[in-house]
């Protein structure tokens, strides 16, 4: 009898865990404090340039080890941090975005929000807030929004990720000094599966060939954004 009760408790306890409702990310505390502190320590030890090309977002950017080489001749600051949500990119922007007064921001974040259970509208609203705050402090800054990746490991979320990318494109259409770059054709086959050799074993993050493919489609947009801000940042 005791064994039976123990089994029932284990099963019902497990079921209760599975049935826990999603807590919206906006109601959850910010994580990644150590990552942000490490960025600040690095900035203090070796101050980055003002008015640079800033990469802001999650682990796809963080893991891009040769991004500075791929984006030459522009000065690059990479402030991607792994697993981040838009709540955190927004929440920490006073510390790792605004102080740099970037000339161009390359932004990719939001896929983790959707994977965690937030509806598409939640990260889109936060991106609008991010953009509003950025432009308030730095009105001449251009932003290149990068589509979230339809990674093979997130196939169950492809429909939501597609909707997210559509709404991200709408933000770009509504604004000025904004670009949208869809990196998915560079990484994925027409059927949506990843191109051979373009993802790490996790089928989520690009490998060296994947980043090379991303650079090929991203660099023209960065060139255009940099050129468009030439007059505004001349002499700064």
What pLDDT does residue 19 have? 54
Partners of 144 in beta bridges: 106, 179
Q: Is 131 helix (H, G, I), strand (E, B) or coil?
A: helix
Measured CA to CA in angstroms, residue 192 lies from 153, 180, 187, 195 at distances of 11, 20, 9, 9
Q: Can you say how many angstroms the Cα of residue 145 is from the centroid of all Cα atoms in its chain?
A: 9
Q: How many CA atoms lie within 13 A of 32 on its CB side?
A: 26
Q: How confident is the model at residue 139 (pLDDT cuts 50, 70, 90)?
A: very high
Measured CA to CA in angstroms, residue 205 lies from 49, 56, 108, 189, 232 at distances of 28, 16, 13, 16, 35
CATH code assigned to 51-229: 3.40.50.1110
Whether the per-residue pLDDT at 192 is higher than 90: the answer is no
Q: How confident is the model at residue 209 (pLDDT cuts 50, 70, 90)?
A: very high
Mean pLDDT across the stretch 80-88?
A: 93
Whether the per-residue pLDDT at 39 is higher than 90: the answer is yes
What pLDDT does residue 17 have? 46
What pLDDT does residue 20 have? 75
pTM metric for this prediction = 0.90
44-78, pLDDT tens digit by residue? 999 999 999 999 999 999 999 999 999 999 999 99
What pLDDT does residue 236 have? 80
Cβ contact 125:108 at 8 Å: no
Mean pLDDT of the chain: 92
């Amino acid at each position: 009898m005791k064994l039976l009760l123990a089994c029932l408790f284990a099963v019902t306890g497990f079921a209760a865990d599975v049935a826990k409702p999603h807590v919206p990310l906006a109601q959850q505390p910010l994580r990644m404090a150590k990552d942000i502190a490490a960025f600040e320590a690095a900035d203090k030890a070796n101050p980055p340039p003002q008015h640079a090309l800033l990469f802001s977002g999650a682990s796809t950017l963080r893991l891009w080890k040769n991004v500075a080489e791929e984006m030459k001749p522009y000065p690059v600051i990479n402030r991607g941090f792994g697993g981040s949500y838009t709540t955190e990119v927004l929440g920490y922007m006073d510390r790792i975005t605004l102080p740099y007064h970037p000339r161009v921001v390359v932004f990719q974040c939001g896929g983790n929000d959707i994977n965690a259970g937030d509806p598409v509208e939640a990260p889109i609203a936060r991106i609008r807030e991010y953009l509003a705050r950025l432009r308030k402090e730095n009105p001449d800054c251009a932003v290149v929004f990068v589509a979230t990746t339809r990674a093979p490991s997130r196939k169950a979320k492809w429909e939501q990720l597609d909707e997210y990318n559509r709404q991200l494109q709408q933000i770009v259409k509504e604004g000025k000094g904004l670009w949208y770059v869809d990196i998915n054709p560079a990484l994925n086959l027409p059927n949506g599966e990843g191109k051979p050799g373009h993802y790490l074993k996790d089928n989520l993050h690009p490998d060296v060939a994947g980043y090379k493919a991303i650079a090929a489609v991203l660099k023209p947009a960065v060139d255009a954004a940099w050129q468009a801000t030439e007059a505004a940042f001349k002499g700064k």
